[in-house]
Structure 1
Amino acid sequence: MARLIRPTAQQQAIVDAVSTGGNIKIKAYAGAGKTSTLLLVADRLSHRRGTYLAFNREIAEHARRGFPPNVASGTVHSRAYRSVSSALSARVNLPAEPPQELAARYGLDPVEVPLVTGKIVEITPFEIGRMIVDGLGRFCRSADDTPNALHVPADEKIDAKAADWLQDGLRPYVGRLWSESIDPRGRSAIIPDVYLRLTRFDG
């Protein structure tokens, strides 16, 4: 397929650079010809194996049909899923713990906080549990070594000082959920971001 593509000068430069070995990074906008360039690269390196990682299953499936046999196509999450232990990957399919039950397990009660308007509102156990889970997801998608207060989402309508207090207070629980998620003896469900982060840091 790639042999039918007549490369532009930029594409040819990329193919030549890849052929010399080493790592290269290419930045291109939508419609710039990224896929056709990769097809050219796959054709040039037909004697070597390659991997095409996509953001969703539909793109990965399309790539699987278009690339030559020496290129394996899949999503980032599917590769990460296959890279972690079976004990961990099996937990992805377990029923998720409802947010209010997570809050109850951690001994967290409803709290009242002021809004920027001065009105006092109640943050329910469901909302607290959701903030912890979302905080874990944000941590997993970050480059930070440990969960911090900024990973905990806070509604912009909450007074700034109250939001800081709430985020600081929930940060340890995000860390606790992270520890539970990566514990090989764990029996609870985990979010996909957990194994994606583990794969990223394990290589």
Structure 2
Amino acid sequence: MNPSTPHTPTEEQFAALDMARQGNSFKVVAYAGAGKTTTLKLISENLQGRGLYLAFNKAIANEAQGKFPKHVRCQTFHSLAFRHVPRDITAKVSLPRLTPARLADELRLSPIQVLRQFDGIPKPVTLTKSKLGTIIGESITHFCKTSSAYPAPRHLILPSWLSDADDAALRQQLYPALEERWLQSIDARHQAGIGHDIYLKLWTLSNPAIPADFILFDEAQDADPLMMGALIKQDRQTIYVGDAHQQIYEWRGAVNAMKRLPYPQTLLTQSFRFGEAIADVANVLLKALQETIPLKGNPNRQSSVEKQLRISQKDAILCRTNAGAMARLLTGLKANHKVALQADSSRILRFCQGAESLKNGKSAYGIAELAYFNHWGEVQEFSETTDGSDLKTWVKLIEEHGVSTITQAINALSTPRCADYVVSTAHKSKGLEWGRVQLADDFLYDVTERSVKISAEELRLLYVACTRGQDTLDVHDVNDLLYALTTKKLIYD
């Protein structure tokens, strides 16, 4: 339980309990820091029969098991599925996985040439066997997250820059390989390793009856169609808990289920994490997201928002991207700060390895951002275009510091407990909190004289970031956006 959460339930928490006692499925819309775990615990203590708490990762499920009563089992979706899928399939998880090149050979794929536009000039790009193998592997993962019963050409994950003609031709050409790989994955006799998504997909396709009298589904806004399809078919009470405005995983297949579910809802709008000043910032973003119900700050907690000058003291810097976090990390280390990194370190290292490969004339097929370039010069050129702007910070970092310096910096990180502060991406900060939070300057939006242009996804990411702070929130680097959202025309990107 959050130490700032009162032991006496609020009226909103009692309202959720009253709805749970009616025995019907419903959803609990829980704003940032609003005590959803405490509410779920309260509900589970007052419901009879076998309970099941479902979480997205094992660490959260294990932590929950220590908080919930004994009649509630805490699991992940994958562990639930693992028990009910034949062992000759689940055993394939421990077998060696095919590399993209080996997979391409297995599926008899040959290189394919397509065209890519570089500032309006078409240039030939060869999709090597390794790249095609990667496409098939990623497409199987994508298919497994959908509610579809069988793979189709639409499930192929192809480069977004393909022309319509190349896209259509490639789907027709690669679909037989996608179908064959799916059939191999669910064949116990085929001795190539599989990912965990395969047996989860098989389990949901069997129309399972989940062994519980009531189900508590946490962070429901991040569910993909596969998970939602399995739950909504259950004939037992299911309580979905989450916040549609904290749905920041669309790129992973999440569908913002909290808004789509056809169930009555109850609200948790009282945050215990921070005071009114930080709630006011969050409400600017919520209003831009067309939310009419405001977030309320904790009246017993004093919080402040810094707008004019950056505070010198902070516990966390929250960035939009791994590249932005890496830049802040290097700046901190140069100033002899002890810095911890709450970002995708392995992905950063893979990007650096891919950059080094391209510089040495080798392929970087395993790195999504670099897979379709033949050499580093192409990456540099593309980063200067509008379409490639997301690579610009990476190119600048690698050109200024070099791959070895970045790698050494990651390997020399402090632990969060020993660090002066943590540098984190906003995605990695979800579910965490710090006393003093500073927002970085790499969030994506465009403020002009009369309007502000920003995507709903970016607004949600900023909402997650700004609600991580407890005492102080430094918004200096995004203050122009916050001001524009209250004074200018909003254009959704």
Q: How high is the TM-score relative to the length of structure 2?
A: 0.39
- Determine the C-alpha separation between the residues in 1 that align with 2:77 and 2:26: 19
How far apart are residue 154 of structure 1 and its match?
1.5
> Partners in 2 of 1:57 and 1:30 — Cα distance?
22
- Aligned to 2:29, the other structure's residue is in SS state coil
Q: Residue 42 of structure 2 aligns with which residue?
A: 40
CA separation of 1:14 and 1:201: change in aligned 2, threshold 3 A: farther
Paired with 1:186 and 1:98, the residues of 2 have a C-alpha distance of 15
1:66 aligns with 2:70: no
Say whether residues 1:158 and 2:159 are aligned partners: no
Equivalent residue of 1:60, what SS? helix
CA contact (8 A) 1:5 1:40 kept: no
Q: Which has the larger radius of gyration?
A: 2
Pairwise CA distance, 1:88: 0.8
Give the structure 1 partner of residue 25 of structure 2: 23
1:15-52 deviations in Å (ceiling 9; x for gaps): 1222222322333333222211110011102x422111
Q: AA paired with 2:122?
A: G
Q: Which one of the candidate residues 126, 141, 145 is aligned to 1:141?
A: 145
Instruction: Please say if residues 104 and 129 of structure 2, whose CA atoms lie closer than 8 Å, have aligned partners that are also in contact.
Output: yes
Cα gap change, 1:7 to 1:127, in 2 (>3 Å)? same
Distance in 1 between residues matched to 2:34 and 2:76, nearest whole Å: 21
Sort the Cα spacing of 1:93 and 1:149 in 2 relative to 1 into closer, same or farther, 3 A.
same
| Aligned equivalent of 1:114 | 115
Counterpart residue identity of residue 179, structure 1: L
After alignment, is 105-114 or 13-22 more displaced? 13-22
Q: In structure 1, what is the Cα distance between the partners aligned to 2:171 and 2:32?
A: 37
In structure 2, the residue matched to 1:168 is 172
Whether the aligned pair in 2 keeps the contact of 1:109 and 1:125 (CA below 8 Å) is yes
Unaligned runs of 5+ in 2: 209-493
> Which amino acid is the alignment partner of residue 124 of structure 2?
I
Measured in 2, the distance between the counterparts of 1:145 and 1:29 equals 34
Distance 2:140 2:181 in 1: 7
Which of residues 11, 14, 27 in structure 2 aligns to 1:12?
A: 14
**Displacement of 1:62 after TM fit?**
1.2
What code does the residue aligned with 1:162 have? D
Q: 1:29 to 1:169 in 2, by over 3 A?
A: farther
Q: Do the aligned residues in 2 keep the contact of 1:100 with 1:126 (CA within 8 Å)? A: yes
Provide the identity percentage. Answer: 35
Give the drift of 1:157: 3.0
Tell me the CA shift for residue 53 of structure 1: 1.2
Change (3 A) 1:11 1:201: farther
Secondary structure of 1:13's partner? helix
Is the partner of 2:75 in helix, strand or coil? Answer: strand
| 2:78 alignment counterpart | 77
SS at match of 1:115: strand
Distance 1:10 1:168, change over 3 A: farther
How has the CA–CA distance of structure 1 residues 58 and 125 changed in structure 2, closer, same or farther, with 3 Å as cutoff? same
Displacement of 1:200 after TM fit? 2.0
Paired residue secondary structure (1:154): coil
Instruction: Report the secondary structure of 1:48's partner residue.
Output: coil
- Report the equivalent of 1:196: 200
Structure 1's unaligned 5+ residue stretches are none
Name the CA distance, whole Å, in 2 between partners of 1:27 and 1:33: 11
Cα displacement string for residues 79-136 of structure 1 (whole angstroms, at most 9, x for unaligned residues): 2222211111110111101111111121111111111231111101111011011111
Distance (whole Å) between structure 2 residues aligned to residue 130 and residue 114 of structure 1? 19
Q: Which residue of 2 aligns with 1:54?
A: 55
Alignment of 1:179-194 (within 5 A): 179-194=183-198
Distance 1:201 1:29 in 2: 33
8 A contact 1:64–1:73 mirrored in 2: yes
Alpha carbons of structure 1 residues 196 and 111: separation in structure 2 relative to 1, 3 Å: same
Whole-Å Cα distance in 2 between the matches of residues 84 and 30 of structure 1?
36
1:131 maps to which residue? 135
Query: Structure 1 stretches (4+) deviating beyond 4 angstroms?
Result: none
Note if 1:101 corresponds to 2:96. no
- Contact between 1:114 and 1:121, CA under 8 Å: does it hold in 2? yes
